[in-house]
Structure 1
Amino acid sequence: MDIPEPTRRRHIRHARRRARSREMSRYAGKPLRLLWRYLARRKVSHLIVLTSVLAAVGCALASQYGIKNLIDALPSGRAHPAVVMRAFVILVGLILADNLFWRVGGWIAARVFVTVTGDIRREMFAYLTAHPPAFFADKPPGVLSSRISATANAVYVLENTVSWTALPPCLTVVGAIAMVATVSVPMSAALVAISATLAFAVFVLAKKGTSRHQAFAARAASVDGELVDIIGNMGLVRAFGAVRSERRRFDAHLSTETQARTRSLLYLEKLRLLHALATALLSAAMLGWTLWLWSMDRATTGDVVLISSLGFAILHGTRDLAVAFVDLTQHVARLGEASSILLTPHDMPEHHDAPPLQVREATIEFRDVTFAYPGRRPVLNGLNLQIRAGERVGLIGPSGAGKSTILALIQHFYEPAGGSVAISDQDIAKGSLDSLQAAISVVPQDASLFHRSLLENIRYGVPKASEPEVRRACEDANCLDFIAAMPDGLNTIAGDRGTRLSGGQRQRIAIARAILRDSPILLLDEATSSLDSASEAAIQTALERLMQNRTVVAIAHRLSTLQSFDRILVINRGRVTQDGSPAELAQQPGIYRDTLMRQRKRTTPSELA
């Protein structure tokens, strides 16, 4: 059968995305390989920056030689002014070229370095979102978001440090030593030996400090995560009068991070001090050697000036190189720490050639499914369950019986330890995740909304839906009236997690979102449990419209909301202990009848009316 062109292109995009995800995991904890991945994508731009730096440093060094020529030309300059003028023009030309090359490199770097950070944030975010929900359960959002920023910032700083702080002094030192050879080859050879020894010593000592830099990187990330966690729960902090205790807790985290940073920086300062002493002695020895050569009439006055300036160039160059190197070590450590967390291999990678699910009849089947959360006893034990297309099935049972786990497994949030879950007789683990998500709409107990307009929130599952389609969905969800009463209507900002709306309003927005998505399978997770009677009535009406012609699986602790359902499944200890219509189970001894009787006793006459 011929595959439509849009579908074929979509499959190709998904295959490429999965291939990139598999490739990205190889860079976890390998900062230099990760850095090269992004540099290699824009080789031409980085090559231009490198060439500009090389040319600029070359001109800067040549200008030192130009000064020597000018000084050597001065004694005979009055008699031969053309010689002096030529030396002057050459020197000025080298100075102008030096500045020009720096600006060319800076202009290109301003674009390519920023573009690289965008590439990193984009791919890190894409890789992160491909993790299953279990990955995010024990990782604060602030820690993950800060690591994405830390990774991009570390690469940006590394590129800038190498281009403007590390590479120029490295080239300067090499070029200066080569120029010293024009005055004295033994002096140049001695400089090579001493510089190599000094560089090796700095490298060894810097490597020993890596653990300090990694400790600082981890502490900095934990402080960022703690900040986001506290600010995100500020209402709870206020409600329990815990402002002072949270301040003390944050102070403790901050103190630990400050100590780790101080240890890291002090270690760097020790390296810089050691290097400064060595290079100062080296420069003094060079100048003394040159003066001795001059006294022996083996060096000109210009040579003395050249060696003096080159000595300072080597002094400052090796100092800057040492500073840059230890800074690079710190940022490489931070990049490695962040990437090791973000690029953790996916627990449930999508199969590289996973076909889309073909949901013609939205049946759901659990086939001998066993499941346990990590480090805990099994929640489901050989669960077998069949739900027919268009059937409404309610799940009830004690807390921890496995009801929410069943909904999570239908959405393939977790991989069963045994057995399989099938939709339309197809194992969902073998189908593409996009097609599974398109087949399911969810209305949770606590509807999550983005800090965006109501229009964007309702369109979330169908971004290209027209405004008339959104309004029809809102009308079916009984939320058009309260939206119209808001000053900005559908353009009203919902607030962080929808805090500008009441619980009932958030729930009706979530129902409108599900109506607009129009998926064949609907999952309801206690959608009316936390609402007052008036809100529950409005939402129940909206849910009735939403459930029409769909396969519905609902968790509810209010049994009154399940009376129109086809079947009720009583889940206890990971198994189905009762299965039947509401009327049938009301006549049978068990959890359903006991719960129904208790709830009827608590129902007031006014609520019955």
Structure 2
Amino acid sequence: MELVDHSDRGRASRVRGRRHSRVLSRYAGRPIRLIWRYIARRKTAHAIVLASVVAAVGFALASQYGIRNLIDALPQGRAHPQTVAYAFAVLVGLIFADNVMWRVAGWVSSRAFVRVTGDIRQDMFDYLMGHAPTFFADKQPGVLSSRVSATANAVYVIENTVAWTALPPTLTVIGAIVMVATVSLPMSIALVAISALLTACLFWLARKGTSRHEAFASQAASVDGELVDVIGNMGLVRAFSAVPAELRRFGGHLEAEAVARRRSLLYLEKLRLVHAFATALLSAALLGWTIWLWTQGRATTGDVVLVGSLGFAILHGSRDVAVAFVDLTQHVARLAEASQTLLTPHAMPEAPKAIPLIVREATVDFDNVSFAYPGRRRVLSDLTLHIEAGERVGLVGPSGAGKSTVLALLQRFYDPANGCVRISDQDISYVTLQSLQAAISVVPQDVTLFHRSLLDNIRYGCPDATEADVKRACEDASCMDFIAALPDGLNTIAGDRGTKLSGGQRQRIAIARAILKDSPILLLDEATSALDTASEIVIQAALERLMKNRTVIAIAHRLSTLQSFDRIIVMNRGRVVQEGTPAKLAMVPGIYRDTLARHNRRTPAPTMN
């Protein structure tokens, strides 16, 4: 059997994927740069939104001039009605243009911002899928899924907050200060100085509160993780009458989140209070100054109205800027925390010049392989093992002997500390992960199914398979009988992790899935250990059909399942201590013969996982 990838498109895609992963990891904990990356993908749409908002604010400020001109034209309006009509027409035109620009900005942003959200969620998911198994072992699935959503949602909220809450009042304040200069330049200069001082003060205070916002983001993600963890293990919770205990535990997490949220929100309120007090004093001083100029004959009645309205615009605008700014601080902190978690550099990236695995003869070799899980003792010690193409090999040994580690290293879930693992004389550390995964089929002890139809689950490793192909695989796996008895047949939903099916049914679905994938190497990890005798007989027959013409490596607790194998390898403490045919080992003193004797006496045997 030969697996060769000659696709130039596939190679180009893998190169782009590796480059994409390296680039994304640079944005961990850098939320502003991350946001800008996705804005830059849709520059034209964002430029239109920006230009429309600027134009809308400009027309809104210009309408203040229109009001002033209308007020100043009224005293002579009866003598010169055309002056009043002209001022009125200009004001109406400015108001109309203001509203049109807002609608243009809203229409374009409703598409662009949503697409940015989709882009970042897709990229975060793509990057997450590239992490090594150790990454997922250390984190709750709920925490990771919530962070993918939190990253996308934070970017969406930040874009909307900037476009509709922060940018318009900022432009309004700047424009208002410029317009005040037409009445009094010293007044405008004073406004600039005070506004700059107030902004700097708020920025400094907001940065001091970042730790509070990040703590809240972390607690919120922890609550999501607890929810998924408990719901996913609800059967265990009920089996041990642990509902009250889980409610108390979850209540503790909620309380911790509430405390973190209160600290975050109260700090934001303090910032708003400081800003509100400062802007109220500023507006009162501004209006008083203008009235004093009016008493001196240096400002018209229209100027007083203009500056009064501009003062309120500055008051409300700067208040809105402060509110938006402190809100943005919270969302940016949450984005930074989520991206820091998700964009951790990949522990086992694909080699820069990885090539597709070419399997002509499905041989497997472990050359002086040593391995230890992080923080634990060595599991494999200088393991050397050769398996011929088409050979059926069983791994036997006590718990902790390293059997499951052999299968994990062969699938490159981990890299060995020393030595190398080869398939068809190619070091798997230097081949593409996709081609390696395509060469191996696995039937595990604990079969996991998606909450999808049985049809989708069976052709998961071969998405292009026809329904006829799936049915043939089901016949070979001896599962067509129970599938036909289901109300929706192959369209029946398997349930979360396949809970709607029995253990034996899930095992047969896994076998059908492996048959359809048609890989040259087959790994069986305790595929029949949890089954009753009747189910084991049916599944054993299906496995015989599956193993035909394949290189097979099987871990089995029930030695009866290995009697037809070509070779048994007995492992202990990470080393091969015995090997040979089942008949030969049954005659030689050692672990295999002792275990076989216990099985024959039908006495409980030690767990060999």
- CA contact under 8 A between 2:5 and 2:358: conserved in structure 1? no
Q: 1:499 corresponds to which residue?
A: 499
Is 1:532 the counterpart of 2:532 in the alignment?
yes
| CA–CA separation in structure 1 for the residues paired with 2:355 and 2:256 | 50
How many residue pairs match? The answer is: 601
| CA–CA separation in structure 1 for the residues paired with 2:383 and 2:37 | 46
By how many angstroms is 1:455 displaced?
0.4
Q: What does 1:36-47 correspond to in 2, within 5 Å? A: 36-47=36-47
Describe the SS at the equivalent of 1:522: strand
| CA–CA separation in structure 2 for the residues paired with 1:6 and 1:146 | 38
Q: 1:138 corresponds to which residue?
A: 138
Q: Deviations over 1:139-198 (max 9, x none)?
A: 110000000000000000000000000001110000000000000000000000000000
Describe the SS at the equivalent of 1:412: coil
| CA–CA separation in structure 2 for the residues paired with 1:372 and 1:327 | 46
Describe the SS at the equivalent of 1:497: helix
Q: Please, what is the CA RMSD of the aligned residues? A: 1.0
By how many angstroms is 1:132 displaced?
1.5
- CA contact under 8 A between 1:428 and 1:436: conserved in structure 2? yes
Q: What does 1:537-548 correspond to in 2, within 5 Å? A: 537-548=537-548
Describe the SS at the equivalent of 2:421: strand
By how many angstroms is 1:135 displaced?
1.1
Is 1:292 the counterpart of 2:329 in the alignment?
no
- CA contact under 8 A between 2:460 and 2:513: conserved in structure 1? yes
| CA–CA separation in structure 2 for the residues paired with 1:532 and 1:297 | 102
| CA–CA separation in structure 2 for the residues paired with 1:185 and 1:168 | 24
- CA contact under 8 A between 1:440 and 1:521: conserved in structure 2? yes
By how many angstroms is 1:603 displaced?
7.5
Q: 2:257 corresponds to which residue?
A: 257
Supply the AA of the counterpart residue of 1:108: V
By how many angstroms is 1:353 displaced?
2.1
By how many angstroms is 1:54 displaced?
0.1
By how many angstroms is 1:14 displaced?
1.1
Is 1:127 the counterpart of 2:127 in the alignment?
yes
| CA–CA separation in structure 1 for the residues paired with 2:81 and 2:181 | 29
Describe the SS at the equivalent of 1:494: coil
Is 1:577 the counterpart of 2:583 in the alignment?
no
| CA–CA separation in structure 1 for the residues paired with 2:210 and 2:188 | 33
Describe the SS at the equivalent of 1:441: strand
Describe the SS at the equivalent of 2:570: strand
- CA contact under 8 A between 1:50 and 1:163: conserved in structure 2? yes
Q: Deviations over 1:518-545 (max 9, x none)?
A: 0000000000000000110100000000
Q: What does 1:371-450 correspond to in 2, within 5 Å? A: 371-450=371-450
Describe the SS at the equivalent of 2:367: strand
By how many angstroms is 1:8 displaced?
1.1
| CA–CA separation in structure 2 for the residues paired with 1:376 and 1:174 | 61
Is 1:150 the counterpart of 2:150 in the alignment?
yes
Supply the AA of the counterpart residue of 2:52: S
Q: 2:361 corresponds to which residue?
A: 361
Is 1:57 the counterpart of 2:63 in the alignment?
no
| CA–CA separation in structure 1 for the residues paired with 2:88 and 2:535 | 87
Q: 1:607 corresponds to which residue?
A: none
Supply the AA of the counterpart residue of 1:394: G
| CA–CA separation in structure 2 for the residues paired with 1:323 and 1:491 | 52
Supply the AA of the counterpart residue of 2:409: L
Supply the AA of the counterpart residue of 1:70: L
Q: 1:331 corresponds to which residue?
A: 331
By how many angstroms is 1:63 displaced?
0.4
Describe the SS at the equivalent of 1:74: helix
Describe the SS at the equivalent of 1:265: helix
TM-score between the two structures when normalised by the length of structure 2: 0.98
Q: 1:238 corresponds to which residue?
A: 238
By how many angstroms is 1:9 displaced?
1.1
| CA–CA separation in structure 1 for the residues paired with 2:352 and 2:24 | 15
Is 1:28 the counterpart of 2:50 in the alignment?
no
Describe the SS at the equivalent of 1:415: coil
Q: Deviations over 1:9-60 (max 9, x none)?
A: 1111111111101111111111111111000000000000000000000000
| CA–CA separation in structure 1 for the residues paired with 2:79 and 2:247 | 79
Q: 2:607 corresponds to which residue?
A: none
Supply the AA of the counterpart residue of 2:448: S
| CA–CA separation in structure 2 for the residues paired with 1:203 and 1:22 | 32
Describe the SS at the equivalent of 1:78: coil
| CA–CA separation in structure 1 for the residues paired with 2:18 and 2:202 | 42
Q: Deviations over 1:202-244 (max 9, x none)?
A: 0000110001001001111101111111111111111110001
Identity among equivalent pairs (%): 74
Q: 2:180 corresponds to which residue?
A: 180
- CA contact under 8 A between 2:5 and 2:435: conserved in structure 1? no
Describe the SS at the equivalent of 1:381: strand
Higher mean Cα deviation, 560-569 or 345-354?
Answer: 345-354
Supply the AA of the counterpart residue of 1:540: Q
Q: 2:459 corresponds to which residue?
A: 459
Q: 2:203 corresponds to which residue?
A: 203
Q: 2:322 corresponds to which residue?
A: 322
- CA contact under 8 A between 1:19 and 1:352: conserved in structure 2? no
Describe the SS at the equivalent of 2:471: helix
Higher mean Cα deviation, 12-21 or 307-316?
Answer: 12-21
- CA contact under 8 A between 1:166 and 1:324: conserved in structure 2? yes
- CA contact under 8 A between 2:215 and 2:260: conserved in structure 1? yes
Structure 1, unmatched stretches of 5+, are 605-609
By how many angstroms is 1:352 displaced?
2.3
- CA contact under 8 A between 2:290 and 2:307: conserved in structure 1? yes
Describe the SS at the equivalent of 1:394: strand
By how many angstroms is 1:507 displaced?
0.2
Q: 1:277 corresponds to which residue?
A: 277
Q: Deviations over 1:226-282 (max 9, x none)?
A: 111111111111111000100000000010010000000000000000100000000
Describe the SS at the equivalent of 1:371: strand
Supply the AA of the counterpart residue of 2:457: N
Q: 1:170 corresponds to which residue?
A: 170
Supply the AA of the counterpart residue of 1:216: F
Q: 2:518 corresponds to which residue?
A: 518
Write out the 4+ residue segments of structure 1 that deviate beyond 2 Å after TM superposition. Answer: none
Describe the SS at the equivalent of 2:571: strand
| CA–CA separation in structure 2 for the residues paired with 1:5 and 1:359 | 10
- CA contact under 8 A between 2:357 and 2:432: conserved in structure 1? yes
- CA contact under 8 A between 1:144 and 1:342: conserved in structure 2? yes
Q: 1:81 corresponds to which residue?
A: 81
| CA–CA separation in structure 1 for the residues paired with 2:65 and 2:233 | 65
TM-score between the two structures when normalised by the length of structure 1: 0.98
Q: 1:113 corresponds to which residue?
A: 113
Q: Deviations over 1:94-114 (max 9, x none)?
A: 001101000000000000000
Q: 1:66 corresponds to which residue?
A: 66
| CA–CA separation in structure 2 for the residues paired with 1:90 and 1:42 | 35
| CA–CA separation in structure 2 for the residues paired with 1:202 and 1:39 | 26
Q: Deviations over 1:545-592 (max 9, x none)?
A: 000000000000000000000111111000000011100100011110
Is 1:308 the counterpart of 2:308 in the alignment?
yes
- CA contact under 8 A between 1:294 and 1:301: conserved in structure 2? yes
By how many angstroms is 1:6 displaced?
6.5
| CA–CA separation in structure 1 for the residues paired with 2:484 and 2:220 | 46
| CA–CA separation in structure 2 for the residues paired with 1:119 and 1:268 | 30
Supply the AA of the counterpart residue of 2:279: T
By how many angstroms is 1:598 displaced?
0.4
- CA contact under 8 A between 2:213 and 2:330: conserved in structure 1? yes
Supply the AA of the counterpart residue of 2:193: A
Supply the AA of the counterpart residue of 2:378: P
- CA contact under 8 A between 1:451 and 1:495: conserved in structure 2? yes
| CA–CA separation in structure 2 for the residues paired with 1:191 and 1:29 | 36
